[in-house]
Amino acid sequence: MTRLRGRLLVLQVLVIAMIVVLVVRLWQVQVMQGERFGTVATETRTREVRVPALRGSILDSSGHPLVRNRTSLVVSVDRGRLERMHDGGAAVLRRLSTVLGVPYDELKQQIRACGPGISRPCWPGSPYTPIPVAEHVKTRQALQILERQEDFPGVTAEIQSRRDYPHGKEAAALLGYLQPVTEQELERREGLKASFSGVDLVGQGGLEAIYDAAMRGKPGLRRVQVDRMGKVIKIDQQANPVPGDILVTSIDQRVQSIVEKSLDQAMKETPKSNGAAAVVLDVKTGRVVAMASRPTYDPSIWVGGIKEKDYRWLLSDKSGKPLVSRAINGTYAPGSTFKISSVSAMIANGSPLNGSYECPSSFTAAGQTYANAGGMSLGSISLHTALEKSCDTVFYKAGFEQWKADGGLKPKGTPKEPMTHMAKAYGFGRRTGIDLPGESPGLVPGRQWKKDLWASMKDTMCRRAKTGYPEMKDQAKAAYAKRLAHENCVEGNIWHAYEAINFSIGQGALLVTPLQLARAYAALVGDGNVRSPRIGWALVRPDGTLVKEIPVPVEGHLPISDHARDYIRKALAQVPVTGTAAAVFRGFDFNVVKVGGKTGTAEVYGKDDTSWFASFAPADNPRFVAVVMVAQGGWGASTAAPAVRRIWEGIYGVGKGDDGKPIKPALPGGNPPARLPVIRDGVAVQ
Amino acid sequence: MDGILLGAVVALSVIGTLLVWSSTRNWNSAEPTALAKKHVLNLCVGLALYSAVAVSDYRVLRRYAPLMYGIVTVGLLLVLTPMGATINGHRSWITIGGGFAVQPDEVAKPVLVLLLAMLLARAGDKKKDRPRYLYVALCLAVWGGTAVLVMMEPDLGTTTVLTAITGGMIVYAGVHKRLIAAGVVLAAAGAAAVWFLGLLKPYQVARFTALMDPSTDPRGIGYNSRQALIAIGSGELFGKGLFHGGQTTGRFVPEQHTDFIFTVAGEELGFVGAAVVVLLLGVVLLRCLRIARLCEDRFAALVAGGIVTWMGFQTLVNVGMTIGIMPITGVPLPFVSYGGTATFSNMMAVGVLQAIHIKDRVFG
């Protein structure tokens, strides 16, 4: 027994030692490191769930939705959680593939991160946000996922709101689209990080981009305690989301629809055309009533993440790049529609309104002959007739004489350049500042422009004038290019007579956008103010409170008298009756509404002519300006003018439709809504 | 009867019930106390068994030890037949209908203690201080039979407990130091062989590597180890209060009502509560050793030593694994963890010691 007792004594010592070790270690873990573990515990236990705010819808001027929200059940996957599983989440994805009926490989591709060498389908958004893998799932499928969270860790199904476009392709380029925010975007856009909810999308084009901050609203925040499975046990803190503001635009959906159909027909009639645009402005307010671009596309392809195939198609020549709005981004020579600027420059430069002007069949200057379109010769005519019949030679002469007065090839002092300055006063050569991204400034040429261009090019040109173009295979072409380089090197800074002459009829280097032309006409036939057009009319909270009315800034005033403007307007009013568009408007009932306008046919080197028609109505007291441009559309009178005629017929209800019945006016009395629509609970009350 | 021993056991049982209640109250919102009630029922049955054993003559147990060993062996064999039930990867249960199940390997612990004590009590030398070598060999055979069956479940935790009991009791019985040294070397060699010959399952290896570096497998074994440490650590000095442990409520730690119940104590009762649990277990072990010291019977002393080894080893492994000083092994915390068979065995073991204590006072 002694040995046994002795050995049990050793056991007793071991037991005491063990108790001491355990208690010391507990002290270490709980008291010495307790605070640190406490922090870690809070981190593992609490989740911050951002509740996305409902994005504001986009309404037309009478409250009709152009873009609205519709809710759908969306299944999302948390890639981070899947990656931490021992099989990388393969088992979960396989189960998910069975429930959703989507192939496993497809799911796998959808959730990988986009990057160099990895193209769509992939996830371009933040790696920390749930990735939507299926939309419009059935309630039954969602329940299968939600009720068996142990089988679907990291997978959630929730109701999300999605953009809905009730009018399909109409106004697509203008409305824009939404995309998941990218990492770069978060960095670039200061302040976005803080207010941005992971599941939200960001406006990437059109109105969605410009009014993104207002329409996005403020996401709600829910701090919750979760269990190991991610199930919410307790809500610690909750802040409800603030829905985004509703954007009421001055677009009139009915007019927009008419414009879209009219462009479709114009495109159908000119198979060679690769683009077209139409703009309808409210002359009184400077707001946009309709705006369309061709080619167009259905913006719903962005909803729920665009597919690689569609994305590539959108950016390809095959689709014609419909994301580029021809109305604000396409620049073209305006042709004769520009004569309003040239005639204004003549009047401002002292040409009398009651004077008479020679309209021969051709004009010769500096050894070159410039022919009138169609060889027209009208003898001695008024400015009124020069506009009505679009006599080029009157403007050639004026352009040449102004050039000569400035000193021709060797200008003295400060040249007056009446036509260049008038064009700029009309707002050409700079962005209109419309509330859309990616607008082109266009180009107004002149003496200073030549100098600037030469300064930037002369080094290259002078080098090429010496070395030539040895890399060019075609020797004749290379020789021509070398001669051109030599000319540019020696006299590239000189504004030549031919340039001034071409410029006078809207040809040459001059480039304008359809929107620029429309606002120039609106200034001419309206109060003479050049405005920065707006599509957004007001931002309104879903409960109807007005946040702010979006003003239309006035940028300047045309430097000609009201009398002169009236004179030009009256001349243009004659164009559809007896002028260049008379044939197009044959049978148009001017008793319903008188319209004025100007045709334009701009020559494009190596391509078909650009067809223009800039118009306004009613001719006596204009309310609207409508401009249609069809690239490679041929004569202004043959393609663009009929398109504008259809727009006026639709707005005022002139004539009969294809069905033989009288067309119902889209805007009875020709008046757009004067007051903002009344909004309650996010929708307009009729 | 040792009142302090009984008091410590009752105190641990009360704390255990509260912890079981706290950790299982979210299982079924309609019946938050369902498992706690079942635990109380187990304790009542356990206390009844304790009383029955305590008032009986422990020498009767000595006589029936071989028979009991036979029954346990049959039980362990039955576990491997279709009658056995698998819970959490261990095939350790026999269902007996009515929602009840027994765990033969839990019964094997006290039965092994009794049988080994019976074999080792027969002294082999004149001073009656060393066991007979034949019986030592027999002891190893008895241990081997049980250990193999338990390993087949497979339950590594219980196997190590059985090994500790056997090794301990052979040492207490007085075998020569040279033999102890040889045994240690042999055991080490055996462990090394098992390790390097790849006889362990990958998850068992992972438990050891995770102990060395919990970050090797943050979502598997390392995850459990880390979550247990976070839960206990976050309890700090006074704990978050019973029913207020976020880690516990969130079930970040697995098996909270059984193998990981100590994490609930650590988080909700803090260092103070956890230390009290450890100290109460210390009291139980030391009182058992006191009984061994006071008794005059070699069999009784060996039984006491075996029981202390069993419960002490389980305490060390169970508490140790939750505070990162022992590998994760599935053994329950005596008197605290939920589990019917384990509760009965523990209670009966304490009953045996009380019987020894009472007998020695009465008859000694």
Provide the ipTM: 0.93
Q: A635-666, pLDDT tens digit by residue?
A: 877 899 999 999 999 999 998 888 888 889 99
Of B26, B218, B233, the CB nearest to A37: B233
A91 has a chain B CB within 8 A of its CB: no
Mark yes or no for CB contact A1/B301 under 8 Å.
yes
Q: What is the pLDDT of residue A49?
A: 64
For residues A8 and B300, the answer to whether their CB atoms sit within 8 Å is: no
Of B174, B293, B304, the CB nearest to A3: B174
A11 has a chain B CB within 8 A of its CB: yes
The gap between the terminal CA atoms of chain B, to the nearest Å, is 14
Q: What is the pLDDT of residue A195?
A: 43
Q: What is the pLDDT of residue A129?
A: 67
A1 contact partners, CB below 8 Å, separation of at least 6: B128, B129, B296, B298, B301
Mean pLDDT (whole number) for A218-247? 75
**At A418, which amino acid appears?**
P
What 3-state class would DSSP assign to A170?
Answer: coil
Q: Is A304 or A288 the better-scoring residue by pLDDT? A: A288
- The Cα A613–Cα A517 span in angstroms is 10
B125 contact partners, CB below 8 Å, separation of at least 6: none
Mark yes or no for CB contact A11/B308 under 8 Å.
yes
Mark yes or no for CB contact B247/A41 under 8 Å.
yes
Residue A17 predicted with pLDDT over 70: yes
**Contact residues, chain A, for B220 at CB < 8 Å:** 86
Q: Between chain A and chain B, how many beta carbons pairs sit less than 8 Å apart?
A: 154
Mark yes or no for CB contact B271/A40 under 8 Å.
no
User: What phi and psi, each to the nearest 5 degrees, are found at residue A449?
Assistant: -60, -40
Q: Is B212 or A485 the better-scoring residue by pLDDT? A: A485
What 3-state class would DSSP assign to A134?
Answer: strand
**Contact residues, chain B, for A80 at CB < 8 Å:** none
Q: B332-341, pLDDT tens digit by residue?
A: 999 999 988 9
| CA distances in angstroms from B335 to A89, A417, A618, B11, B15, listed in the order given | 40, 104, 97, 9, 9
Q: In the numeric block, which tokens belong to residue A566?
A: 């009236």
A150 has a chain B CB within 8 A of its CB: no
Mean pLDDT (whole number) for B18-28? 87
Residue A511 predicted with pLDDT over 70: yes
**Contact residues, chain B, for A27 at CB < 8 Å:** 271, 275
Mark yes or no for CB contact A41/B233 under 8 Å.
yes
Mark yes or no for CB contact A5/B293 under 8 Å.
yes
Mark yes or no for CB contact A5/B296 under 8 Å.
no
For residues A613 and A556, the answer to whether their CB atoms sit within 8 Å is: no
Domain limits, chain A = 47-249, 253-295+325-333+513-670, 368-377+384-504
The nearest CA of chain B is from the CA of A150 a distance in Å of 13
Mark yes or no for CB contact B129/A3 under 8 Å.
yes
- In terms of CATH architecture, what is A47-249? Alpha-Beta Complex (3.90)
For residues A222 and A49, the answer to whether their CB atoms sit within 8 Å is: yes
A1 has a chain B CB within 8 A of its CB: yes
- What is the CB neighbour count within 10 angstroms for residue A596? 27
- The Cα A110–Cα A367 span in angstroms is 67
Q: In the numeric block, which tokens belong to residue A178?
A: 């939404």
Of A9, A14, A34, the CB nearest to B233: A34
Please give the share of chain A, as a percent, with pLDDT higher than 90: 55
The Cβ-side half-sphere exposure at A300, using a 13 Å CA radius, reads 13
For residues B278 and A15, the answer to whether their CB atoms sit within 8 Å is: no
* Preceding amide of A618 cis, omega within 30: yes
For residues B302 and B62, the answer to whether their CB atoms sit within 8 Å is: no
- The Cα B219–Cα A503 span in angstroms is 74
For residues A613 and A236, the answer to whether their CB atoms sit within 8 Å is: no
Most A CBs within 10 Å, among B203, B227, B236, to test the A interface? B236
- Confidence band for A607, pLDDT divided at 50, 70 and 90: confident
For chain A, the average pLDDT equals 88
The gap between the terminal CA atoms of chain A, to the nearest Å, is 104
**Contact residues, chain B, for A86 at CB < 8 Å:** 219-220
The nearest CA of chain A is from the CA of B267 a distance in Å of 9
- The Cα A422–Cα A427 span in angstroms is 9
Residue B170 predicted with pLDDT over 80: yes
What 3-state class would DSSP assign to B284?
Answer: helix
Q: What is the pLDDT of residue B49?
A: 95
Most B CBs within 10 Å, among A2, A37, A83, to test the B interface? A37
Nearest by Cα to A617 from A528, A532, A521: A521
Count the residues in chain B: 364
**Contact residues, chain A, for B278 at CB < 8 Å:** 19, 22-23, 26
- Assess whether the region A47-249 and the region A253-295+325-333+513-670 belong to the same CATH fold: no
Q: B302-337, pLDDT tens digit by residue?
A: 999 999 999 999 999 999 999 988 888 889 999 999
A45 has a chain B CB within 8 A of its CB: yes
**Contact residues, chain B, for A9 at CB < 8 Å:** 293
Mark yes or no for CB contact B174/A27 under 8 Å.
no
- Confidence band for A477, pLDDT divided at 50, 70 and 90: confident
Sheet hosting strand A220-226, strand order edge to edge: A46-51, A220-226, A232-239
Longest Cα separation, chain B = 67
Mark yes or no for CB contact B302/A4 under 8 Å.
yes
**Contact residues, chain A, for B305 at CB < 8 Å:** 4, 7-8, 11
DSSP string, B255-313: STTTTTHHHHHHHHHHHHHHHHHHHHHHHHHHHHHHHHHH---HHHHHHHHHHHHHHHH
Of B174, B233, B305, the CB nearest to A11: B305
Domain limits, chain B = 3-362
For residues B254 and B330, the answer to whether their CB atoms sit within 8 Å is: no
Number of H helices and number of E strands within chain A?
23, 25
Q: What is the pLDDT of residue A577?
A: 94
CATH class of segment(s) A253-295+325-333+513-670: alpha beta
Q: B243-257, pLDDT tens digit by residue?
A: 888 777 777 777 888
- The Cα A657–Cα A356 span in angstroms is 43
* Preceding amide of A542 cis, omega within 30: no
The nearest CA of chain A is from the CA of B96 a distance in Å of 30
Of A11, A26, A35, the CB nearest to B275: A26
**Contact residues, chain A, for B232 at CB < 8 Å:** 26, 29-30, 37
Q: Which residue of chain A is at minimal alpha-carbon distance from B290?
A: A12
Count the residues in chain A: 686
For residues A506 and A516, the answer to whether their CB atoms sit within 8 Å is: no
- Any idea what DSSP says for residue A326? T
**Contact residues, chain B, for A21 at CB < 8 Å:** 325
**Contact residues, chain A, for B311 at CB < 8 Å:** none
Q: B27-76, pLDDT tens digit by residue?
A: 777 788 888 999 999 999 999 999 999 998 888 888 999 999 999 999 99
Of A29, A35, A85, the CB nearest to B323: A29
For residues B233 and A36, the answer to whether their CB atoms sit within 8 Å is: yes
Q: A252-272, pLDDT tens digit by residue?
A: 999 999 999 999 999 999 988
Helix (H) or strand (E) holding A358: strand A357-359
Mark yes or no for CB contact B271/A1 under 8 Å.
no
pTM: 0.67
- Confidence band for A506, pLDDT divided at 50, 70 and 90: very high
Mark yes or no for CB contact A86/B279 under 8 Å.
no
DSSP string, A257-268: HHHHHHHHHHHH
- The Cα A140–Cα A445 span in angstroms is 65
Q: A112-159, pLDDT tens digit by residue?
A: 877 777 766 777 766 666 788 887 788 778 777 777 777 888 888 777
Beta bridge partners of A246: A540
Q: What is the pLDDT of residue A193?
A: 45
For residues A388 and A491, the answer to whether their CB atoms sit within 8 Å is: no
The nearest CA of chain A is from the CA of B74 a distance in Å of 32
Q: What is the pLDDT of residue A196?
A: 43
Of B128, B233, B293, the CB nearest to A8: B293
